[in-house]
Amino acid sequence: MLEASKTKALLSLLEDSEQEVWQAAYAALAALPYSDTEALQNHLYESTDLHETQSRLEKCIVDIRISHFGDQIINWKNKGGVNLLEALVYICQFRYPDVSEAEIIEQIETLRLDAWLEFHYDLTAFEKVKILNYILFQLHGFRGNEENFLHHDNSFINKVLQSKKGNPISLSIVYMLVAQRLNIPVYGINLPKHFIMAYVEDEETNNLEGFNDKPSIGSEAKGDIIFYINAYNGGGVFNQEQLQGILKEMELEEKPEFMQPCSNADIVLRVLMNLHNSYSVAEKYEAEFIDRIVQKYKEN
Calculate the CA dihedral of residues 82, 181, 161, 68 and round it to 10 degrees. Answer: -20
C-alpha span between 258 and 85 (Å, rounded)? 23
The last residue of one of the domains, among 47, 78, 109, is: 78
Question: Nearest Cα to 132, choosing from 88, 186, 170?
Answer: 186
Are 72 and 185 within one domain?
A: no
The one-digit pLDDT tens for each residue of the chain (300 residues) are: 456 778 888 888 988 889 999 999 999 999 999 999 988 988 877 765 567 888 899 999 999 999 999 999 999 999 999 999 999 999 999 999 999 999 999 999 999 999 999 988 788 999 999 999 999 999 999 999 999 999 999 999 999 999 999 999 999 999 999 999 998 999 999 999 899 999 998 755 554 454 444 445 566 777 899 999 999 999 999 999 999 999 999 999 999 889 999 999 999 999 999 999 999 999 999 999 999 999 999 999
Residue numbers of the domain that contains 264: 88-299
Are 107 and 242 within one domain?
A: yes
Are 23 and 113 within one domain?
A: no
pTM of the model: 0.91
Are 206 and 279 within one domain?
A: yes
Q: Is 83 a domain residue?
A: no
